[in-house]
């Protein structure tokens, strides 16, 4: 491992973690890169680069912060060779794999095994018009003022159930999220469990149970003719795409 890229939480104190990475890299003769706007406030020895340069040149991207920082790092690294290691800086950090004291050991393990695996998730919801990646969840969203959302769910090729959403309620089924996504009404599942979760939110029906699928199962959402117009959101790094 010759080059490590840093992605920092914009406010949390990351000095200890950055020092741990720099010290490890100095012992191994590796470079440490950081985005110029993020590392400027630390006055550290990381090499300032653009976000594009960071993900292109890095053998490993280290996210220092919480879940939002981890997802932002995954978004930046999407389509590039570098895996992302999440380091938790003091709060829940459900997506982060290590705490700061464990960081040097984690770097040594990755370096020794040439590991390129990650427990992060990237998946691409597709529609008749477009496809785009999502890292946390995908939600169908009713446009305000339009009729009730009505969506049929097919799981592993079989009809499962149709959900309708109240005009003033929440969302119709949050059709898919990996277990590491924010629960938002669904269960908290260990990141070690490889599964896809379907969670109805404010359903206008007597059936409001969720569904757990394996990653090999297909999941299809059909917007029924009686439904109002819907958008599909893929969520990433605290943001969303429609």
The CATH number covering residue 176 comes to 2.60.200.30
Does 26 or 89 have the greater pLDDT score? 26
- Residue 25, in any domain of the structure: yes
Give tens-digit pLDDT for 170-182: 444 444 455 444 4
The total of other beta-carbon atoms located within 10 Å of residue 81's CB is 11
pTM of this structure: 0.63
**How many domains, in total, are found in the chain?**
2
Q: How confident is the model at residue 141 (pLDDT cuts 50, 70, 90)?
A: confident
Residue 216 gets the label, from left (phi > 0), alpha (psi -120 to 50) or beta, of alpha
**147 lies in which domain range?**
138-241
Q: Which of 27-36, 81-90, 136-145 has the lowest mean pLDDT?
A: 136-145
- Residue 121, in any domain of the structure: no
Residue 37: CATH number of its domain: 3.40.50.10330
Q: Are residues 10 and 98 located together in one domain of the fold?
A: yes
Q: Are residues 142 and 45 located together in one domain of the fold?
A: no
Paired strand residues for 158: 155
Give tens-digit pLDDT for 41-90: 887 889 999 999 999 999 999 999 887 888 888 888 877 888 889 898 87
If you average pLDDT over each of 30-39, 130-139, 165-174, 196-205, which comes out highest?
Answer: 30-39
Q: Are residues 221 and 178 located together in one domain of the fold?
A: yes
Q: Are 140 and 127 in contact (CB under 8 A)?
A: no
Q: What is the pLDDT, as a whole number, of residue 66?
A: 83
- Residue 123, in any domain of the structure: no
pLDDT at residue 115 is higher than 50: no
Cα 230 to Cα 87, 99, 148, 183, 233: the distances in Å are: 37, 40, 10, 22, 10
- Residue 125, in any domain of the structure: no
Give backbone dihedrals phi and psi of 232, rounded to 5 degrees, phi first: -115, 125
Residue with tokens 């070690």: 192
């Amino acid at each position: 491992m010759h080059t490590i890229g840093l992605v920092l939480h914009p406010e949390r104190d990351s000095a200890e973690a950055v020092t741990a990475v720099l010290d490890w890299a100095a012992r191994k003769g590796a470079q440490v890169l950081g985005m110029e706007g993020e590392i400027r406030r630390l006055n550290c020895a990381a090499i300032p680069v653009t976000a594009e340069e960071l993900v292109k040149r890095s053998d490993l991207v280290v996210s220092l912060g919480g879940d939002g920082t981890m997802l932002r790092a995954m978004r930046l690294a999407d389509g590039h060779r570098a895996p992302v290691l999440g380091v938790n800086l003091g709060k829940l950090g459900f997506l982060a794999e290590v705490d700061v004291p464990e960081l040097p050991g984690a770097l040594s393990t990755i370096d020794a095994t040439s590991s390129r695996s990650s427990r992060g998730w990237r998946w691409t919801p597709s529609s008749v018009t477009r496809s785009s990646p999502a890292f946390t969840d995908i939600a169908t969203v009713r446009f305000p003022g339009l009729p009730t959302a009505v969506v049929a769910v097919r799981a592993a090729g079989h009809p499962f159930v149709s959900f309708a959403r109240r005009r003033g309620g929440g969302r119709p089924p949050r059709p898919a999220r990996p277990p590491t996504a924010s629960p938002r009404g669904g269960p908290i599942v260990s990141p070690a469990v490889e599964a896809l979760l379907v969670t109805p939110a404010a359903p206008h029906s007597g059936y409001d149970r969720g569904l757990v699928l394996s990653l090999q199962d297909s999941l299809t959402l059909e917007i029924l003719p009686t439904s109002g117009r819907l958008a599909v959101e893929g969520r990433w790094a605290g943001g969303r795409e429609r």
